[in-house]
Amino acid sequence: MPQQVTRLGIAFAVLAIVFVAVRQTLVPDTFGDAGHYRAAAVDSIEAQPLKYAGHEACTMCHRPIADKRSASNHSGVSCEVCHGPAAEHVAAPGNVRPRAPRERGFCPLCHGYNASRPSGFPQIDPVAHNPTVPCMTCHDPHAPEPPVIPGECRACHGQIASTKAVSHHAVLPCLTCHDAPEEHKATPRAVRPGKPSSRDFCGGCHAEGADSPPHIPGVDMATHGEDYLCWQCHYPHHPEAE
């Protein structure tokens, strides 16, 4: 056998032995038992002290506030979301007090304007919206209601309003298509607005032979779009058809 092969063989064998030895030493014993991780990590994490108490623990002592919150628009927001981990407070209520965020930067974490948030979710521009005044001055975080009920749809649905404003439907008021009870403005989640649920609604303007101006596109409602509702294919706030 050529000398090169034996020497290289020795070098590679040494490397392989070192690799196996390092692997034996460094790979944790329980690695791979339950997946591509150290199975004992679950026990290590379990052994860590609890920091959150859970909203039920809060309710036991703070029932009036808890009831108020659970009936409000913040019913889905747990106490510790704003007040922080409260396990220490539950263990020693007199010694540890949970935080109560009053700075202006806190509420906009959820309520600052962001185009990707759902339309209708209350959002403000923190720079322009009553600058320097703490949010709690006007809004009660345990029962947040706007101090003034918005008069226009665009107060909450600004994104849709701006889109519609440059569309062929710009002249149509929102209430042409949506039935929005007055209560929706004060309790937007409890009372929801409706939207057209039949093809005939759009057909009122867009069916062939409908009593509408000639520049409005018309289709044969019997054959066009099978059984789909119109808004399943066309976006009514910015309809694409010319």
Partner 1 sequence: MQGYIYPNEFELRWGLLIVLYPYLTGLVAGAFILASLARVFNVKEVEPTYRLALLTALAFLIVAPLPLVAHLGHPERSYEIFLTPNRKSAMAMFGFVYAWYLMVVLLLEIWFDYRRDLVLTAREATGPRKWFYYTLTLGATDLSDRALQFDDRVGRWITIIGIPSAFLLHGYVGFIFGSVKANPWWSSVLMPVVFLFSAIVSGIALVMIIYLVATLFRSKKVDMGCADKLASFLFYAIVVDFSLEMLDFIHRLYEAEESIEILSQLIEGRLFVSLIVLQIVLGTLVPLISLGVVSPALSKRSIARIPAEVRRLIYLGCAILVQIGIFSIRWNVVIGGQLFSKSLRGLTAYKAELLGLEGLLVAGVLLVLPFLVLGVLVKILPPWPDTELPASPEA
Query: Pick from 205, 143, 197, 142: which is nearest to 168 by CA?
Result: 205
The least distance separating partner 1 from the CB of residue 30, rounded to whole angstroms, comes to: 12
CA gap 53, 59 in Å, rounded? 11
CA gap 114, 193 in Å, rounded? 22
Question: Binder to partner 1 among 13, 21, 32, 235 (CB under 8 A)?
Answer: 32
Helix (H) or strand (E) holding 206, with range, is helix 199-206
CA gap 28, 222 in Å, rounded? 69
Question: Binder to partner 1 among 2, 49, 131, 213 (CB under 8 A)?
Answer: 2
Question: Binder to partner 1 among 17, 18, 22, 170 (CB under 8 A)?
Answer: 22
Distances (CA, A) of 173 to 196, 216, 219, 229, 235: 14, 17, 23, 21, 16
The least distance separating partner 1 from the CB of residue 158, rounded to whole angstroms, comes to: 14
Residue placing its CB nearer to partner 1 in the complex, 45 or 115: 115
The least distance separating partner 1 from the CB of residue 22, rounded to whole angstroms, comes to: 7
For the window 112-151, what string marks contact with partner 1 as x by the rule CB under 8 A?
Answer: --xxx-----------------------------------
Q: Is there binding between residue 23 and partner 1 (CB under 8 A)?
A: yes
Q: Is there binding between residue 162 and partner 1 (CB under 8 A)?
A: no
Question: Binder to partner 1 among 18, 19, 51, 176 (CB under 8 A)?
Answer: 19
Question: Binder to partner 1 among 36, 49, 94, 214 (CB under 8 A)?
Answer: 36
* Site size for partner 1 (CB under 8 A): 20
Name the β-bridge partners of 112. Answer: 124
Distances (CA, A) of 22 to 13, 15, 33, 178: 14, 10, 20, 69
- Number of neighbouring beta carbons within 10 Å of residue 76: 10
Q: Is there binding between residue 165 and partner 1 (CB under 8 A)?
A: no
Query: Pick from 164, 169, 141, 145: which is nearest to 154 by CA?
Result: 164
Q: Is there binding between residue 232 and partner 1 (CB under 8 A)?
A: no
Instruction: Using CB under 8 A, list all residues that contact partner 1.
Output: 2-4, 6-8, 10-11, 15, 19, 22-23, 26-27, 31-32, 36, 114-116
